[in-house]
Amino acid sequence: MSSSYGENLRLTIFGQSHAPAIGMTLEGIPAGQALDPERLQRFLDRRAPGRNEYSTPRKEADRPEFLCGLVGKVTCGTPITAVIRNTDTRSGDYELLKRLPRPGHADYTAQVKYFGHQDAAGGGHFSGRLTAPLCIAGGICLQLLERHGIRILSRIAAIGCVEDRGALLASTAEKDFPTVDEGQGAQMRALIAEAKARGDSVGGVVECAVLGLPAGLGDPIFGGMENRIAAVCFGIPAVKGIEFGAGFAAARGLGSEMNDEFCLEEGKVRTRTNRAGGILGGITNGMPLRFRLAIKPTPSIAMEQRSVDLQSMEETTLRVPGRHDPCIVPRAVPCAEAAAAIAVYDALLGRRREIG
Amino acid sequence: MSSSYGENLRLTIFGQSHAPAIGMTLEGIPAGQALDPERLQRFLDRRAPGRNEYSTPRKEADRPEFLCGLVGKVTCGTPITAVIRNTDTRSGDYELLKRLPRPGHADYTAQVKYFGHQDAAGGGHFSGRLTAPLCIAGGICLQLLERHGIRILSRIAAIGCVEDRGALLASTAEKDFPTVDEGQGAQMRALIAEAKARGDSVGGVVECAVLGLPAGLGDPIFGGMENRIAAVCFGIPAVKGIEFGAGFAAARGLGSEMNDEFCLEEGKVRTRTNRAGGILGGITNGMPLRFRLAIKPTPSIAMEQRSVDLQSMEETTLRVPGRHDPCIVPRAVPCAEAAAAIAVYDALLGRRREIG
Amino acid sequence: MSSSYGENLRLTIFGQSHAPAIGMTLEGIPAGQALDPERLQRFLDRRAPGRNEYSTPRKEADRPEFLCGLVGKVTCGTPITAVIRNTDTRSGDYELLKRLPRPGHADYTAQVKYFGHQDAAGGGHFSGRLTAPLCIAGGICLQLLERHGIRILSRIAAIGCVEDRGALLASTAEKDFPTVDEGQGAQMRALIAEAKARGDSVGGVVECAVLGLPAGLGDPIFGGMENRIAAVCFGIPAVKGIEFGAGFAAARGLGSEMNDEFCLEEGKVRTRTNRAGGILGGITNGMPLRFRLAIKPTPSIAMEQRSVDLQSMEETTLRVPGRHDPCIVPRAVPCAEAAAAIAVYDALLGRRREIG
Amino acid sequence: MSSSYGENLRLTIFGQSHAPAIGMTLEGIPAGQALDPERLQRFLDRRAPGRNEYSTPRKEADRPEFLCGLVGKVTCGTPITAVIRNTDTRSGDYELLKRLPRPGHADYTAQVKYFGHQDAAGGGHFSGRLTAPLCIAGGICLQLLERHGIRILSRIAAIGCVEDRGALLASTAEKDFPTVDEGQGAQMRALIAEAKARGDSVGGVVECAVLGLPAGLGDPIFGGMENRIAAVCFGIPAVKGIEFGAGFAAARGLGSEMNDEFCLEEGKVRTRTNRAGGILGGITNGMPLRFRLAIKPTPSIAMEQRSVDLQSMEETTLRVPGRHDPCIVPRAVPCAEAAAAIAVYDALLGRRREIG
């Protein structure tokens, strides 16, 4: 299976881009937790399409309807289900794609896996639109984590070869284009505009930092924080890599550089550096948990591309119809936060068990 | 929990470095599969310590005893359990480490998580030694995958800043130092020797390619091949990053470069390039599945390092006792193969279900 | 957690009796399976309230809306979600029950478990209404099982001390009151009418038989067919016991009576008797799989009962408001079929894996 | 799969009757829990064969070796694995049984499921011997439950038609033949002796009561205490039925009789009766949790029985070789306690999560 995640909570994501609805069910959330729907909506709006010049103009509000799991705005302990109706669907645009798989998309692999019965319209269950229910779940977890003093920061760390500057120490959530250094952000925007003008697209890197984590979260071997976070993050379409702390840079370094020496700060054990990204042996050490995601360029580009006609089994060319984001990295930023929040909150719920 | 993996098979890894034994249980393997214990042993020997000048001299044979799951050498369909006795244990070396956590190790996080009750001897359940049972499971899966025409290649892609050259097209398993380009391999060895001489250690990158995969393996969202493989690979200590296909390089590229156009080869749908690493929408497309792991430098170095005495809560220094690998990357190579084999075989078992 | 079931499929049930909706998500159903919504509706109608003189007059149509997982009427391989809107809700009736727990209901235990944050209206997530989504999932599985030649029969085996007569060899689904022997059925109805007249309620036994099962389904130890079926059936409120084959009668017998001797029928291995209910070692033997469920009397009765006021912590009395089924056994019959269908289809999907 | 259980802990049982060993792995047990191996051994001895005149004379000590998960006698938080070596194996006795399936045994179903590759010797993975690792896990959980004030009582409630008298209010663990009423026990023994003399066997009923449970354990729908306990108990070979509280008797009763009215005892909410067996809506209500298991007669009987030769596909007869228990009910008593302890402790670990 596929569309479920979690050990102490269980998240199930359902829906296809052009089905009546998409949605999610979240089990295992403690009872008695008040949710703030306005804050959740603001979080979802960061992911929604149609926000700025770089994103697809499909303008659905992405307003979740909560079907159950709440009494008023307060969790009642049983599964929370929320759905978003699909309204702006134009299935006609995509009919041909079942026959002509788009390069870089799941059209071909879905065709093989489901023997031609997949819902091809709008990418079906593989659509980036399915990150909306991920963000509903993540937005809920973010609110719950805050009650434990845990916050998640994120930013665009790079677009193409343009990298952000400075450390990620404060929220960029209010920014239209979430970088730390605005000058670098302007260069990134220019790069996106340039790609768009050519009918091309561009990739990038998203960085997250989870602050306020207690030491001792996570489990050894397959239950490590890296395993847990990676297992959610690769559920975001277009993610092709993840690294924690120094990550691939650690692979180029020496032990004497990459070991984080322990020290005391106000009586608490800390490390002088944080190459480990806050995780040792899969378990949090109380330092910020840092990770970065490689986001490939949007595969939907306006240029003509070569493909294969699966009916006639002949090589041919196609142009992807419709208008698409020349860069999905900005919209991937809240998705990365959501993914981290889900994995971290799941681990936090599991911690209780060890206490006594 | 922590030490179990799998959807269609279930792997459980148990043991501590200095407990009576380490081992693994593998459920869900079909009945009637003959295993070749000699080949399995050769595979395990690639991981074993004490093999060459770069690895720790602890010289246990790592010979698994199969307690059940077989009739003779043939699987009988019920859980397979194999154990390796720990013989060369010197717990005394490690007694102090419960108080003085080693930088870069799980000593401190295990102490917090288990309230001081962790088995600190030899790193306990967090020891790299626990990759031996991973390799037992992986070695079994490798043999079973071959019957489906699936092979896994691997190599050292980099040590420090020295990168291997050439594509990974053939097995390097017989090589003492598994690189494609022997000249680059020699430079890597020199780098390791240099680090060792300084009492330091060095990291690197391992690359794997899974050949012969059918299209259609894996599931959407959280069940993608990336999620599945990452969830095992981060179970190998010292892995701090994973990327599939072009990975982080994809993040720097354009859509027109990173999309793999479809073509026909001998009547079969293929892609002209393989930036996607054989995975689209989480599902295999029939091209080689490629991934790379970032391995941090061995944290056990001979140099003096700063730490904190957890009893007196004072800052202090320590020297890690014992002799340690200056570079674990060579030994991580079969572990990466094992991890890939487990994840891929699990996905392959799941494929059946869709057939009718 | 709680509301999810399955190994090869995954069923999640969500909703509260008086929330906006109840529903279910079913993952793991193969793609390309045409569903017949009219047959599904007829199946759901067998469970629905307001059908006859013995059931609560709440008259919601229980018409599921499929939000996703289908293209037209054909499964597309990704999660199927269906919801039923709650329309006839009268929350006011139940407000007091949060303070005054009804004997035999989950009011008190939900209050303790969820710290008073449970949705008490209409029994919330504990309402018998949550068997409607169970029946959606079961009704889908029943249709899929038929394609493998597998059918499920069921009947009321007893109401109070009145037992049905004759063997369960044909469907009773078309009957208003599903017994084999109509005379016994008439006595049962009289017993229910009598209980109703007194403001009381009455329990009973439901029997199911799964016909056409291949030998070899199920797994040893915790994966046996008994474990699997029991794990779903106890999800039906009011089920307090389950027995397979001769069940508790086997406990009173001799080995020479209870062993089913093997024989040949048309070249196939069969057993001369079927005390085992078609299961040996947890695995189907090709004979009909038979089980019986003990259903306790509806706890909602009109009589005055003693309870405790959880606010004032004083003993008091209550009368359960509203009108309720004097006997839920007839409505439990399709629920038992649904439960069996889910467990059996899950096991059937798992069988594939062993094939090659 | 099959041989794993649990949500907050994970128990895996492995081994075949005549393989080198049988054993279990238990993950998720909190660190820092001292285990008493002598008490565990005494618990295991209650299940062991060769204890009295009614049990098979195979005389293995069933002494577990703990391979990991402990430091000394204290849990260290990582998986606990214990194995029991199989020493008194006589595979020759069983060779024929692969061809001639024994009535009432899993010989035939294992043959079908594993395509003839099952380990037939001694019943393989289906042997009653696999309840020894279940009892190791259960014995550990029993010790841990006691620290929460939770105890489990059990008894033989019936052998054949002879029923025990009196309520189960105190431990029968020290008794040779664990009934409350010794006179009834004597009659049961006579019944067993009689069956043995005839080369026959006899079944019975085991009753368990879990005392000291807090209210609020368990989850709705599929996570109820009934579902959880049933899912373990049917892992004990020969269990063919389970009922909670009044169970099948509840099905014969009226709501006014079966509803347990609430009252106050020393300021605590209790029920005046306990027909529900301590469970409402799947969740404990603080009253003793009571259940009964139907145990079929040992299928291995000395009498000649009819079977089918699976090679020649002809009907034939067989006599089961070896000596066997004429009644396994006494040995099933600690198994039932173990099963209950595992399910209850798993639920107890899950409770933490709801706290805050």
Band of pLDDT at residue A56, cut at 50, 70 and 90: low
Q: What is the separation, in whole angstroms, between the first and last Cα of chain D?
A: 34
A28 CA: distance to closest CA in chain C (Å): 6
Q: Which H/E stretch holds residue C315?
A: strand C314-318
Task: Find, in chain A, the residue whose alpha carbon is nearest to that of D349.
Answer: A353
Span C138-156, pLDDT tens digits: 999 999 999 999 999 999 9
ipTM over 0.90? The verdict is yes
Length of chain C: 356
With b for 16 or more beta-carbon neighbours within 10 A and e for fewer, the A245-281 pattern comes to bbbbbbbbbbbbbbbbbbeeeeeebbbeebbbbbbbb
User: Is the CB of C112 inside 8 Å of chain D's CB atoms?
Assistant: yes
* C354 DSSP assignment: G
Dihedral sign, CA of B348, B352, C1, C3?
A: positive
**Helix runs in D202-328, H state only:** 225-233, 248-251, 255-258
Provide the pLDDT confidence category of residue A51 given band limits of 50, 70 and 90.
low
Is the CB of B74 less than 8 angstroms away from the CB of D117? yes
- Nearest CB to B79 within list D12, D71, D83: D12
Contacts of A12 in chain C (CB under 8 A): 4, 10, 12, 25, 27, 79
Q: How many residues does chain A have?
A: 356
Cβ contacts of residue A146 below 8 Å, gap of 6+? none
Among chain B residues, the shortest Cα distance to D25 is held by B14
pLDDT band at A257 (very low <50, low <70, confident <90, very high): very high
Alpha-carbon torsion angle B114, B117, B120, B124, nearest 10: -70
Classify residue B266 as exposed, middle or buried by CB count within 10 Å of its CB (0-12, 13-18, 19+): exposed
D83 touches chain B (CB under 8 A): yes
Facing B264 at nearest CB: one of A253, A257, A313: A313
Per-residue pLDDT, B356: 42
**CB of C197 within 8 Å of any CB in chain D?**
no
Chain D hits for C110, CB-CB cut-off 8 Å, are 220, 281, 283
According to the model, what pLDDT value does residue B93 have? 57
0.95 exceeded by pTM: yes
Contacts of A216 in chain B (CB under 8 A): 109, 112-113
Q: Does B77 touch chain C (CB under 8 A)?
A: yes
Say which of D32, D75, D79 has its CB closest to residue B14: D79
Alpha helix ranges (H) inside chain D: 37-47, 107-113, 131-146, 182-197, 225-233, 248-251, 255-258, 329-351
CB contact under 8 A, D353 and A77: no
Residue C58's pLDDT is what? 53
Name the residue among B8, B220, B356 with its Cβ closest to that of C353. B8
For residue A289, the distance in angstroms to the closest alpha carbon of chain B comes to 12
List, as one string, the DSSP characters of A276-338: TTTEETTEE-SSPEEEEEEEPPPS--SS-EEEEETTTTEEEEE---S---S--HHHHHHHHHH
Interface membership of A74 toward C (CB under 8 Å): yes
Band of residue A50 on the pLDDT scale cut at 50, 70, 90: low
Find, in chain B, the residue whose alpha carbon is nearest to that of C354: B30
D251 touches chain C (CB under 8 A): yes
Instruction: Give CA–CA dist B179/B176, Å, rounded.
Output: 9
Q: Which residue of C has its CA nearest to B32?
A: C356
Chain A neighbours (≥3 Cβ pairs under 8 A) are B, C, D
**H or E element in which residue D151 lies:** strand D151-159
pLDDT of residue D355: 40
Which of D220, D230, D244 comes nearest C231 by C-beta? Answer: D230
Confidence check: pLDDT of A89 > 80: no
Which C positions 120-149 lie with beta carbon below 8 A of chain A?
124-125
* Cβ–Cβ contact A319 with B under 8 A: no
* Nearest-CA distance A213 → chain C (Å): 24
Our CA-based measurement puts residue A102 at a distance from the nearest CA of chain B, in whole angstroms, of: 8
User: In Å, how far is A312's CA from the nearest CA of chain B?
Assistant: 11
Facing residue for C256 by CB, picked from D200, D252, D264: D200
The CATH topology of domain B4-355 is Chorismate synthase, AroC fold (3.60.150)
Cβ–Cβ contact D114 with B under 8 A: yes
What does the block give as tokens for D143?
A: 């010790």
| Residue pairs spanning B and C at CB distance below 8 A | 29
Which chain A residues in 207-236 lie under 8 Å from chain C, judged by CB atoms? none
| Distance between CA atoms of residues B248 and B253, nearest Å | 9
Give yes or no for C75 touching A (CB within 8 A): yes
Instruction: Name the neighbours of C, counting chains with at least 3 Cβ pairs within 8 A.
Output: A, B, D
Cβ–Cβ pairs < 8 A, chains C and D: 387
**pLDDT band at D351, cuts 50/70/90?**
confident
Report pLDDT digits (tens) over D227-269: 999 999 999 999 999 999 999 999 999 999 999 999 999 999 9
Per DSSP, the three-state class of C320 is: coil
Residue C143: CB atoms within 10 Å: 18
Kindly state whether C350 is in contact with chain B, defined as any CB-CB distance less than 8 angstroms. yes
Q: How far is A206 from chain D (nearest CA, A)?
A: 32
Strands, E, within D164-313: which ranges? 204-211, 239-244, 262-265, 268-271, 279-280, 283-284, 289-295, 305-309
Contact status, residue D272 vs residue D263, Cβ threshold 8 Å: yes
Say whether D8 and A353 touch across the interface (CB within 8 A). Answer: yes
| D contact test, residue of C217, C240, C301, C317 with most D CBs within 10 A | C240
Are the beta carbons of C350 and B353 separated by less than 8 Å? yes
> Pairing mode, if any, of strands D65-68 and D21-27?
unpaired
Each of the 356 residues of chain B gets a pLDDT tens digit; together they read 677 899 999 999 999 999 999 999 999 999 999 999 999 999 999 998 766 665 555 565 789 999 999 999 999 999 999 999 998 666 665 667 789 999 999 999 999 999 999 999 989 999 999 999 999 999 999 999 999 999 999 999 999 999 999 999 999 999 999 999 999 999 999 999 999 999 999 999 999 999 999 999 999 999 999 999 999 999 999 999 999 999 999 999 999 999 999 999 999 999 999 999 999 999 999 999 999 999 999 999 999 999 999 999 999 999 987 778 899 999 999 999 999 999 999 999 988 544 44
Answer with the residue of higher pLDDT: D91 or A235: A235
Hey, which residues 271-310 in chain C have their CB within 8 Å of chain A?
none
Residue B138 CA: distances (Å) to CA of B135, B142, B228, C236, D219: 5, 6, 14, 41, 37
Cβ contact (<8 Å) for D220 and C3? yes
Q: Tell me, what DSSP letter sits at residue D274?
A: -
pLDDT greater than 80 at residue A64: yes
Closest partner residue to D307 among C218, C261, C295, by Cβ? C261
- For Cα atoms C224, C228, C232, give the angle at the middle one, nearest 5 degrees: 165
Give the pLDDT of residue D50.
63
